[in-house]
Chain A
């Protein structure tokens, strides 16, 4: 998955139903810039990441400069500025989880996903695994997000069966 010469042409996001969703939101806020975070989510939902063309499209839709949009994209960790695997795994390794074995879960995820290292995508394009700071589920060690699925109490032993659910 690369954005090189063979990448398919960018398909605009804000048309039809998605454009209607954006404009329905616009009626509820006093500025168009307030739609920026929601609009970025819509682009990421459609493309799996926020490509430069998506930044340009949002800038045009909201009447902002591309630089303003890029500045916001780079501030928030959940927007991907490059393509990631089909399934994006975020594992909490902050202190409460760390004390209870989160780093062992990361090792198991890297091994069984084929990613090898944190931040890398597996050769089959299936997974990317990253460590993240506190996911707010500290009693359910180790919590992780696979795409939008919030999964609790993951152990190194439960990792293979968990990954098998994502093709």
Chain B
């Protein structure tokens, strides 16, 4: 298994404090490191008080959308008699993103504790943790940790002797990126094809099994115990640039940096420092060409945009892209942008659930057109055609998979048009790809 790097002085380890420490995995080890104090504390709190504390912390969803977590929790019914569910989205599949994997494999009890606290906050007795099928190692580690948590009475029919029931269920996926979309995930748990559902109704009204449901990302839930024990004010104070972006963020950096890995930064750290100081920059003799900062679904950034960018929700938005999941793909000057954008389009074409025409056809045709450009068989009108397709793939479908395919194409053509034109004019040697 890949062993995490030593903590860099510019990191702010909170969630990642015990990454690389195998002793933190066991129940005893976790308790010895202060684990489950937050759950004990929240068992004596009202759901409203827990929600208020998380609201005050400024915590926002770490899965990609950045929606305020406490506000999301507050949408759940307060007086209903129907059971509530919590779903934990551990279907981490966005290319470039591998941070939740580290949380599950090193600190499984942090996630269980976060799930238990969130369950209390939304009045749910059952939390389903949906883990992507390919994450065999994190699944095994989580399985052991959940069994331990039950054996120790931390969760179950009488969590920590409180009389409150908190059930934790692990549900294994079976290979489908789209199941990271919240309603597709719920369909998968229900034993159905992972097609996203039309919203409304939103999950807080009719989610898993048609019952009120909140769904949160692994990293979001793992941050909650820290907010409870150290206080909302402490968390809200972790902010280097914009007060709307608080706390720490795990950024998984991959591609052409010297030290790829998962880094935990205070929100707002300059992106330049992240890439060049923490990750060691490019290999000798190479220069930075492009960064996809938030998983493959967000617009591609140029080196100038990176140099001006604070790594938080607002800072990256100001440079025309998105923080997303915090999965950062760094590309140096050896990268063939056309080829890699084709490879991303192929990813989305493969992962489209195919229920919306614009997505099913759009992702497939985007891929085919990019492949023919690479083969040297492109037409001068192909770039306009790609942009027209992208327009028809944006905001036209049930979920945003289609938009996610269009995004790198549009930003790629806008920022690296010359590379596309070089294939079209024959100035660049064709590559044998596709049919």
Residues of A within 8 A of B (CB): 28-31, 33-38, 40-41, 62, 71-72, 75-79, 90, 93-96, 98-100, 132-141, 145, 148-150, 152-153
Contacts and interface: CB of A to CB of B under 8 A. Distances in A.
B174 A78 contact: yes
Which interface residue of A93, A94, A145 has the most chain B CB atoms within 10 A? A94
Enumerate the 4 nearest inter-chain pairs by beta-carbon distance, A residue then B residue, closest first. A36-B191, A78-B175, A138-B254, A76-B174
B311 interface: no
Contacts of B329: 95-96, 99, 138
A136 B190 contact: no
Contacts of A62: 191
Nearest to B85: A30
B173 interface: yes
A94 B289 CA distance: 19
A95 B193 contact: no
Nearest to A140: B2
A54 B174 CA distance: 17
A95 B340 contact: yes
B73 interface: no
Interface residues of B, number: 54
24 contacts: A28-B126, A37-B173, A40-B174, A41-B172, A71-B193, A72-B191, A72-B193, A75-B353, A77-B175, A78-B174, A90-B134, A95-B96, A95-B329, A96-B96, A99-B331, A133-B350, A134-B177, A136-B93, A136-B97, A138-B327, A139-B260, A139-B261, A150-B135, A152-B1
Contacts of A38: 171-172
Interface string B84-95: 000000001111
Nearest to A28: B169
Given A28-B167, A90-B134, A99 B350 contact: no
B390 interface: no
Contacts of A31: 190-191, 209
Interface in B340-356: 340, 343-344, 347, 350-351, 353
A95 B94 contact: no
Contacts of B101: 136-137
B189 interface: yes
Interface of B: 1-2, 92-98, 101, 126, 132-137, 167, 169, 171-177, 188-194, 209, 252-256, 260-262, 296, 327, 329, 331, 335, 340, 343-344, 347, 350-351, 353
Contacts of A29: 169
Contacts of B95: 94-96, 133-134, 138
Contacts of B137: 150
B343 A95 contact: yes
Nearest to A153: B2
B98 A139 contact: yes
Contacts of B2: 137, 139-140, 152-153
A100 B256 contact: yes
Nearest to B105: A150
B401 to A, nearest CB: 12
Contacts of B335: 99
A138 B191 contact: no
Contact of B174 (A79, A99, A133): A79
A78 B340 contact: no
A75 B176 contact: yes
Contacts of A132: 134, 175
A139 B188 contact: no
Nearest to B140: A148
B133 A34 contact: no
Contacts of A100: 255-256
B174 A95 contact: no
Which interface residue of A71, A135, A152 has the most chain B CB atoms within 10 A? A135
Contacts of B350: 133
A155 B343 CA distance: 20
B175 A34 contact: no
Contacts of A98: 340, 343
A136 B132 contact: yes
B177 A133 contact: yes
Contacts of B175: 76-79, 132
Contacts of B167: 28
Contact of A33 (B98, B126, B191): B191
Nearest to A64: B191
